[in-house]
């Protein structure tokens, strides 16, 4: 790939710059070329949240097909053609922490992860139960109630899974021991920086009831992550897609697969709906991290862009491409 700036001072590409190059971890034609000024993304994560599976595949709240909606999300993930560096599930994996629900989750997700060649990062949520989660997902001790944390090395990108759950409660907190552990881990930077994944987002919600279920003592966590190599924070819990900043770090909240909050209502009337589920594509670039919300929908699309179109553009010089695609007709 080129490492030179493909534009001259006028902003018009130089004709001698062929600027093509492979993008890491992604085999589709759309990601094997570089037409612009950003070098290819270093890593790509798929961020999914709040699957809330129940034993026996029971309907969540008697009305939401959590299993079917997860399957639809997984099919949509595979349709992207992306081979992610990890599949990250930010908690509320099950609704009641039932062993059969964890078994069903693995049965649904593991074959997809295998086809994608991607590790799965499971993060605990307030609807999970630490012991059964540990036993169900890793064969660990079902009576081990300690926080479920992990550090993943995704080819130099460090992903730290935190456990923001408080056994017996739905609000969130990072206990003192986990904070100290996090401080220790972050004392050494990672080659491509760090992404934190936790269930309870360290940002406000405009929906009042989430205040009761918020992550407590956010200043205490901010003090630990500020000034470190943490480049982004991924979370769930809200059942709607949102973003913000925490200690100057971008926070991205993925919506839920099971049901989502209908924000087309006054804040004090927000309730769940069986629509609008989405996952996110997290691209880790040299100088940025982007989180793209992907609605899980079945919809006809136009057919203008294609691998053939991309091949035609790739055969052009940068100036010819501008003429072909940027100039107003």
Question: Which residues of this chain interact with Fe ion, rule CB under 5 A?
Answer: 50, 92, 125-126, 237
User: Is there a contact between 251 and 205 (Cβ–Cβ < 8 Å)?
Assistant: no
Q: Which residue lies nearest Fe ion, judged by its C-beta?
A: 92
Q: Measured from the CB atom, is 169 or 325 closer to Fe ion?
A: 169
Other CB atoms within 10 A of residue 106 CB: 15
- Of 46, 131, 55, which Cα lies nearest the Cα of 89? 46
Q: Are strands 272-273 and 242-246 parallel, antiparallel or unpaired?
A: unpaired
Min separation Cβ 95 and Fe ion, Å: 8
CB of 258 to Fe ion, least distance (A): 7
Quote the least distance from Cβ 172 to Fe ion, whole Å: 8
**Residue number with CB closer to Fe ion (29 or 213):** 213
Tell the smallest beta-carbon distance from residue 52 to Fe ion (Å).
6
**Which lies closer to Fe ion via its Cβ, residue 42 or residue 52?**
52
Nearer to Fe ion by Cβ, of 85 and 98: the residue is 98
Q: Given the complex with Fe ion, which of 92 and 98 has the nearer CB atom? A: 92
Q: At what angle do helices 130-138 and 99-116 cross, to 10 degrees?
A: 40
Cβ 106 to Fe ion, closest distance in Å? 19
CB-wise, 228 or 242, nearer to Fe ion? 242
For the bound state, the minimum distance from the C-beta of residue 201 to Fe ion, rounded and expressed in Å, comes to 10
């Amino acid at each position: 790939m080129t490492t030179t700036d493909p534009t001259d001072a006028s902003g018009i590409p130089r004709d001698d710059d062929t600027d093509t190059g492979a993008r890491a971890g992604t085999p589709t034609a759309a990601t094997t070329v570089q037409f612009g000024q950003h070098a290819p993304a270093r890593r790509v994560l798929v961020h999914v949240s709040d699957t809330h599976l129940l034993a026996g595949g029971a309907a969540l709240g008697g009305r939401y097909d959590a299993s079917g909606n997860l399957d639809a999300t997984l099919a949509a993930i595979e349709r992207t053609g992306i081979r992610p560096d990890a599949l990250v599930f930010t908690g509320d994996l099950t609704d009641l922490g039932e062993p059969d629900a964890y078994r069903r989750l693995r049965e649904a997700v593991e074959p997809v992860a295998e086809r994608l060649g991607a590790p799965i990062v499971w993060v605990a949520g307030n609807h999970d139960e630490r012991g059964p989660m540990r036993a169900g997902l890793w064969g660990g001790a079902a009576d081990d109630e300690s926080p479920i944390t992990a550090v993943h090395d995704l080819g130099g990108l460090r992903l730290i899974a935190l456990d923001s759950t408080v056994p017996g409660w739905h609000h969130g907190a990072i206990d003192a021991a986990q904070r100290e552990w996090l401080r220790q881990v972050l004392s050494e930077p990672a080659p491509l920086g760090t992404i934190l994944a936790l269930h309870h987002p360290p940002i406000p919600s405009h929906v009042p009831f989430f205040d009761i279920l918020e992550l407590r003592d956010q200043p205490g966590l901010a003090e630990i992550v500020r000034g470190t190599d943490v480049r982004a924070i991924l979370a769930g819990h809200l059942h709607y897609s949102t973003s913000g900043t925490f200690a100057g770090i971008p926070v991205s909240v993925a919506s839920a697969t099971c049901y989502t909050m209908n924000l087309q209502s006054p804040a004090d009337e927000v309730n769940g709906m069986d629509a609008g589920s989405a996952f996110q594509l997290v691209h880790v670039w040299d100088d940025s991290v982007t989180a793209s919300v992907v609605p899980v929908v079945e919809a006809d699309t136009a057919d203008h862009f294609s691998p053939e179109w991309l091949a035609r553009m790739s055969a052009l010089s940068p100036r010819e491409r501008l003429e072909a695609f940027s100039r107003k007709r």
